[in-house]
Amino acid sequence: MLYPLKFKPVYKDYLWGGRNLEKLGKTLPAGIVAESWEVSCHPDGESVISNGEFRGMPLSRFVDKLQYEVMGTGIGWKPGDRFPLLVKFIDANEKLSVQVHPDDEYASMHEKDMSGKTEMWYIISAKPGAKLVYGLLPGTTREMFKEALENGSVGKYLNYIEVSEGDVIHIPAGVVHAVGEGIMIAEVQQNSNNTYRVYDYDRIDKDGKKRPLHIQKALDVIDFSGIKSKRGKSKGTPVAALDGFTIARLVENDYFTVELHDIYGKVSEIADGSKFFIYLFIKGSGEIFYGNSDCENAGCQGDSHDGNIKVKAGESVLIPASMGKYTILGKIKAMKIYAGKGKY
């Protein structure tokens, strides 16, 4: 029987990280932790199942084994295709580099990792006055930006926005961006690690070297029209308010949909074979009941379910496409993530 999958986090020790993911309840390894890759089929950090019958199996092997039962028949995936999404937590204890990502067309022509990278951020926490870079100031041309990169004055062309808990930032490929210090975020992105750094504050890494920049590729892909960065930040759009939970749509694009589910009771759902779902838990705790019942009785006791798992902030689960009915019970806030466009 299919069940909600948990994974071992893949931790990254990039120089701008800290220890703030402990505030989400994570048990971190020693030293700096910048990112926790929660659900990933990328070779730079692949998820391994940590619970149930398939414990110890890499996610890619699980997908190869069960195919449409995991992925679903409604997202255009076929055997041999890559898993489309990568989901992570990020601790920007210090500011990240100024960077940009390519789209699918450019990546397919210039990178071994042939997918572009559109992404979104949900601000979990931010120190007072925290800012991030989102796009360039109006009127910035390729020539102006190139000259600024050469003489170290790039900062005068960057568009800064202040952020706080609950803000949503949609970042299409081509938009210059950077997370500022003191911000913890949840990130949903295409399954790609293609990043072009344009400025890194002349920092030195643990090997005593400056991290490489990718100026020419960045100039090739940056959206100097400003059209892609017009969305700015938002709080999402409320789409449902029912007994025990509310739903807001945070982002919807051609690659993924992200909803915010604020549960203060229970919500019953179904994985009907069309697509998989990822839940990224950001506050609270609860349980997921699954099997042949939608858990109509308030406590989900006795024979009303085939199984259950406990979940809490800082964790994530993948619901296979053909798992069937499931119910989330508790007081918990989660991002529900899936490939393609949503129903709302």
Write down the catalytic residue from 19, 82, 197, 211.
197
> How far apart, in whole angstroms, are the C-alpha atoms of residue 100 and residue 173?
7
pLDDT average, residue stretch 219-226: 97
Q: Please determine whether the domains at 7-234 and 237-339 fall in the same fold group of CATH.
A: yes
82 is catalytic: no
| Structure confidence at residue 92 (pLDDT) | 98
Tell me which fold the domain 237-339 belongs to: Jelly Rolls (2.60.120)
Highest mean pLDDT (candidates 181-190, 240-249, 301-310): 181-190
| Structure confidence at residue 306 (pLDDT) | 73
Task: Enter the CATH code of domain 7-234.
Answer: 2.60.120.10
| Structure confidence at residue 205 (pLDDT) | 84
Domain spans, the chain: 7-234, 237-339
pLDDT tens track for 236-281: 999 988 888 999 999 999 999 999 999 999 999 999 999 999 999 9
CB atoms within 10 A of CB 202: 8
> How far apart, in whole angstroms, are the C-alpha atoms of residue 189 and residue 180?
19
CA count, 13 A, side-chain hemisphere, 34: 13
Confidence band, pLDDT 50/70/90 cuts, at residue 108: very high
Token pair for 343: 């129903």
pLDDT tens track for 67-92: 999 999 999 999 999 999 999 999 99
Residues of the chain above pLDDT 90, percent: 88
- Reply yes or no on whether the pLDDT at 301 is more than 60: no
- Reply yes or no on whether the pLDDT at 120 is more than 60: yes
pLDDT average, residue stretch 49-53: 97
